[in-house]
Amino acid sequence: MWVLIAGDMVIFSLLFGSFMSARMKHPEVFETGRHALDFHRGGINTLLLLTSSWCVAMTLKALRTDRDRAALRWLGFGILGGVAFAVSKVLEYVAEVHSGHTPASGDFFMYYFMMTGIHLAHVIVGTLVLSVFWFRLRRPTEQRSLAGFESAAVFWHMVDLLWVVLFPLLYLVR
Mean pLDDT over 52-73 rounds to 95
- Whether 38 contacts 92, CB under 8 Å: yes
Give 130-165 pLDDT, tens digit per residue.
999 999 888 876 666 788 899 999 999 999 999 999
- Whether 1 contacts 155, CB under 8 Å: yes
DSSP 105: G
- Whether 53 contacts 156, CB under 8 Å: yes
| Domains located in the chain, CATH noted | 2-172 (1.20.120.80)
Beta strands in the chain (DSSP E): none
Q: Which residues are CB-contacts of 128 (< 8 A; sequence separation ≥ 6)?
A: none
pTM confidence score: 0.93
Residue 37 CA, chain-centre distance (Å), reads 17
